[in-house]
Chain A
Amino acid sequence: MADQQSPQTVTLTIDGMEVTVPKGTTILRAAESAGVKIPHYCYHPGLSSPAMCRLCLVEVEGWPKLAPSCKTTVADGQVVLTQSEKARSQRQGVLEFYLVNHPLDCPICDQSGECQLQDFVFAEGREHGRGREPKRVLGRDDFGGDVLFNGDRCVMCTRCVRFMREVAEDERLCVVERGSRAIIDTFFDRGLEGSPFAGNIVDICPVGALISKDFLHKARAWDLDRTPSVCPSCSQGCNIQLHTRDNLVQRLKPRENLEVNGWWMCDFGRHNYEWMNRTDRLEQPMVEGRVTDWPRALQDLLGRLREHQGDVKAVCWAHSPNEEMGLLKALVEALGGGEILYRSPRTHDEIVLPGFPLLARRKDLAPNVKGAEILGFERVGDDEARGGLGALADHAGTLLVVGDPLVELDESFGAKARLFVHMASYPSRAASNAHFVLPIPTFAEQEGTYTNVQGRVQRFWPGLRAPGNARPGWMVLGAALAELTGGGAPARADQAFSLVAEAVSAFAGITYRDMGTRGALVNEPAGVAGD
């Protein structure tokens, strides 16, 4: 409302719509907020704005020349036209200039289907190119690390150079030569090896000039499903997308979240996805070593739990979602209480992204260490997440192992337990004494939440189908809990989380809806900063 306007906002008209934005906003961002997308290349919200691609030029009434919308700030009463004859012919002209040298590589270019040049030209480009001259040819250049560079396709937006300079603060790329001979290059054969964030330049390249070697010719962009998720490789909890096809993860890409990872993720997490496609999986519930079905297995399990209450020891791992961890704790309490351990791999250094320091490859190399800490679990094991389970190996009472694959342990583990339940994704020698071996999905195959190092609870969604009859850990634990306490068993992940939140003050009042795709901070205990 005009009368509510403070001097810190500006009202202007964009394509006939009145828009009010904070003072200092650029026309491009103001347009975005009104749902008007202005095509651009060199601008990126996480980088500087050089206004050099000239694609974002818009018409401002009363101005003799078109204005670069990524750089021009709004003014009261400005009338901006992004679809006028002048603006459209400007874009058409610039797109034609790009196509003068750009090769017709679409059939062999990985970017096809997610290429901004394709998209913009299809929307607004000329129908026929006028260029008849031979195009410049540069071929393929290995930039080191995971990055291949196709110079012919480069549109010289310099986002990659500026990312390395401004965000990674490790200037490995430069523009060499000038004019139409200008191209991106590394310092001779010193490439991108050793840069932990170089994979991001493949994300921000608007065309297929910078591509991932790992993804080269692997899958077509339009065949991929994209599922929002959270990176499980460390406790930073970068928001990511699982890109899947044929029920396999083909690659990971970061998702924007300015509170967590900006627009970025590290290469360590980016390339750590092959394990999600492992086929050596537990697929069917087993009781006393024999495959059975869930109803029988559950009935048997619930009976034995009622029988063997008390003297409980449990262990989970830092890949367990909050729902799984929380219901494990509740179950152990319902069984009379007992210690709950967890293991997590860890390294000795953090690798911060200097230009966006909220993001770091953290020391804890698993996604839910914070969740375990909040629930008061005790951390054991070494930096490889091995050892520390000596007390459980010979435990005679009830032994619950949830998630942890017990990789380094052998058939003697849990031999003495009167009730040994192993819920996991992968078969293990150490489970040969287990009375119950129950298959659970990985994080990629279920809905759930992780709590990151900042204390942000973030949701992830399933991008893969769990194999065989794997059921989420919270479902089994919730059913057991319901049986013992007489409450209702959660049938959905959000119900499981709410059930956990009732008992854990850090999660109190937070719902799946609150978290949405951006997450929510946990409640700090009173007296601790951040409440």
Chain B
Amino acid sequence: MSESSKIPFNNPGWAGNTGEFDLTEAQVRGDDYVGKRPPEGGHPSGASSYPYMLADKHPDAPLFEGPYKERWEKLRTRYPNARSALLPTLGMAQELRGHLSPETLDQVAKLLDLPPAYVRGVATFYTMYNKRPVGRFLIQVCTNISCNLCGGEDVLQAFLNNTGTELGETSEDGNFTVIEAECLAGCGFPTTVQINSRYYENVTPKDVPGILERLKAQGE
């Protein structure tokens, strides 16, 4: 048991070790189980489920060529019509290019034979599709009620201070964009922060510099 007067436990990153469980980060995240997923998609059932927030972005990448084309064709087979493959296609376009520019939306529309205005309407409905370029690391700090009760706004401020950027803006070195997120479903591990496709749990303000260093060093 941890001390009674603090927020329960303090294990930034993967909430693994409370004394009841003895797990490595890879085990908690499931990285060791998943392994490295091939760019051309593994089994078609999971072809639409790749992370579409990566640090390295290629705004001019074609939609789609090579292994990505293979992956797209696989995911297309899982849907009854072109329209229902729209969200996974937008996800793949963002995975490659980093954000959905007007040109990207137009190309996705052509690929699926949908009206461009329709694609724009769908893309802007969802929060995770970036309409503008973001930094290499998109830091999303949950400030919804459970994390808020446990100091989420302090964590947000710590990220802003340590990256030297304003809310919603990208830092000078192009590395970090910090935004508020709605409930990330990590309420038992306050404060939960999502950075690109990773969750960081039990984050407190003093963990922030360490996390940023790790990002710069490891790339995720």
Using a CB–CB cutoff of 8 Å, the interface residues on chain A facing chain B are: 161, 165, 170-178, 185-188, 190
Closest to A173 in B: B117
Docked Cα-Cα span, A185 to B102, in Å, equals 13
User: Across the interface, do B125 and A186 meet the contact criterion of CB distance under 8 Å?
Assistant: no
B39 at the binding interface (Cβ < 8 Å): no
Q: Which residue of B lies closest to A185 (CB)?
A: B120
B interface residues (Cβ-Cβ under 8 A, vs A): 102, 105-106, 115-118, 120-121, 124-125
B residues less than 8 Å from A176 (CB atoms): 120-121, 124
| Chain A to chain B contacts (Cβ below 8 Å), 12 pairs | A165-B115, A171-B115, A171-B117, A172-B115, A172-B117, A174-B118, A174-B120, A176-B124, A178-B125, A187-B105, A187-B106, A188-B102
Find the A residue at minimum CB distance from B103.
Answer: A188
Q: Bound state CA distance, A49 and B121, in angstroms?
A: 19
6 cross-chain pairs, A with B, having the tightest CB-CB distances, nearest first: A174-B121, A171-B115, A187-B117, A176-B124, A174-B117, A187-B116
With contacts defined as CB atoms under 8 Å apart, how many contacts are there between chain A and chain B in the complex?
36
Closest to A190 in B: B116
Which chain B residue lies CB-closest to A186?
B117
Give CA–CA (A165, B116) in the complex, Å: 12
A162, chain B: closest CB distance, angstroms: 12
Q: How far is the CA of A200 from the CA of B88 in the complex (A)?
A: 35
- Closest partner residue, chain A, to B126 (CB atom): A178
Cα–Cα, bound, A190→B115 (Å): 12
User: B105 to chain A: which residues have CB within 8 Å?
Assistant: 187
Q: Which of B105, B106, B117 has the most CB of A within 10 A?
A: B117
Residues of A within 8 A of B121 (CB): 161, 174-176
Write out the residue numbers on chain A whose beta carbons fall within 8 Å of the beta carbon of B116: 187, 190
Q: A175-B121, A187-B116 are known contacts; what are 15 more A-B pairs with Cβ within 8 Å?
A: A165-B115, A165-B118, A170-B115, A171-B118, A173-B117, A174-B118, A174-B120, A174-B121, A176-B124, A177-B124, A187-B102, A187-B106, A187-B120, A188-B120, A190-B116
CB distance from B118 to the nearest CB of A (A): 5
Q: Closest chain A residue to B109 by CB distance?
A: A187
Nearest chain A CB to B120 CB, angstrom units: 5
List chain B residues, Cβ under 8 A from A161: 121
Greatest chain A CB density within 10 A among B102, B105, B106, B121 is at B121
A495 to chain B, nearest CB (A): 53
CA separation between A171 and B116, bound complex, in Å?
8
B118: which A residues are within 8 A, CB to CB? 165, 171, 174
Q: Nearest residue in B to A174 (C-beta to C-beta)?
A: B121
Docked pose: A216 CA to B106 CA in angstroms:
32
Alpha-carbon separation in the docked complex, A26 to B186 (Å)? 46
Residues in B with CB closer than 8 Å to A165 are 115, 118
Taking the nearest CB of chain B, how far is it from the CB of A149, in angstroms?
Answer: 13
Q: Which residue of A lies closest to B101 (CB)?
A: A188
Return chain A residues, CB-CB under 8 Å to B120: 174, 176, 185, 187-188
Distance A190 CA – B117 CA, assembled complex (angstroms)? 9
Q: Which residue of A lies closest to B118 (CB)?
A: A171
> What separation, in Å, do the CA atoms of A388 and B136 have in the docked complex?
73
Determine the chain B residues whose CB is within 8 A of the CB of A188 once the complex forms: 102, 120
